[in-house]
Copies of this chain bind each other. A is one copy, B any other.
Amino acid sequence: MQVGIINGTSYFGLDLIRLLSDHPEAQITGITARSQAGKRLGDVFPHVAGLPCGSQLGSIRLTKSIESSVDFVFSCLPHAASAEALIPFIDRGIPVVDASADFRLKDAAIYEKWYGVAHPAPQLLDDAVYGLTETHRAELSQTKIVGNPGCYPTAAILALAPAVAEGLVEPSFIVDAKSGISGGGRSLNFDNHFSEVNESVHAYAVSGHRHGPEMVQELSAIAGMDVSVTFVPHLVPMTRGILATCYATLNTSVTQSQIMDLYRSSYENDPFILVTAAPPRTKWTYSSNYCAINATLNDRGTTLIVTSALDNLVKGAVGEALQNANVVMGIEETTGLTTPPIYP
């Protein structure tokens, strides 16, 4: 497939380019940039300037908009701008994955409440599919508009889905998530200033974060009833990785081995989910599309504690986007995504 990438000079765009460079059925034909249009990719990121595979990559000329022939488009723009940039392709029937929030929430009013702008294309929301492949695989194979999940919801929903689907837990969850700094992107601010965030950890958006409504929407759908989520994100001093620690009150008596059996069987056909015997470490997933999950009961057997680890830029963003693209295009789901994590 011929691929166009909108806003390829973001961290999302850059990591998508890395993944696509190893994808046997994809060819990047266009990359847009905002302030850097006109430059070559190698001018913005010197490390790709001279790569051998970079005879293509480093010399790709960044453009204001996709002008090349494309069979598939990924957008790495921020919300609102992203839908606007994708509409022309959607109108031409070209399948798209949007890494922003624009096609995630089904309810345009909730979108407007959390993002502070009217939804740019509410008429398309019915056709869009929430791109958590593991929970929407069948629908994804039938759509041309994918709203790629947020990094935190990917970790949280994958952690909670099996227990919720099985009806083992009360419909009220706590999600305490820890993210590396790259989640904040490449723009400059005090929350990615090294001296401010190194050797420190803190919570933010404690009273409410935009990724909360996604978790509520998806977990409610899985539960078949309205659920509530108290979600608190944290920044930890590392570049990549998210660990979500999820707490749910059990409404029935289960054993540790029953829980682990449930998780293993729930994900036995999901190639990127690793159900691990020990609580996972984000390093176990570094640079890969895997999500590692462990479910453990607290010592009184009253609360289920699920920890899930992933790379926020890959399974939490563009790896998942490529996984979705594979499904949409009818390509084997794991294509271009099987490289093991970098360790250590």
Residues on A facing B (Cβ under 8 Å)? 11, 14-15, 17-18, 21-22, 45-54, 57, 174, 176, 178, 180-182, 186, 188-190, 192-204, 206-208, 212, 228, 230, 232, 234, 236-241, 243, 245, 247, 256, 271-272, 274-287, 290, 292, 294, 296-300, 302-303, 305, 307, 309, 334, 338-344
Contacts and interface: CB of A to CB of B under 8 A. Distances in A.
A232 to B, nearest CB: 6
11 contacts: A45-B343, A46-B277, A46-B280, A47-B283, A51-B290, A52-B272, A53-B340, A188-B193, A200-B281, A230-B247, A230-B303
Given A47-B284, A206-B296, A343-B14, A178 B201 contact: yes
Residue of A15, A287, A340, A342 with most chain B CB atoms under a 10 A cut-off: A340
A184 B104 CA distance: 40
Nearest to A183: B195
Given A207-B299, A245-B234, A283-B200, A194 B239 contact: yes
B344 A51 contact: no
Contacts of A299: 207-208, 212
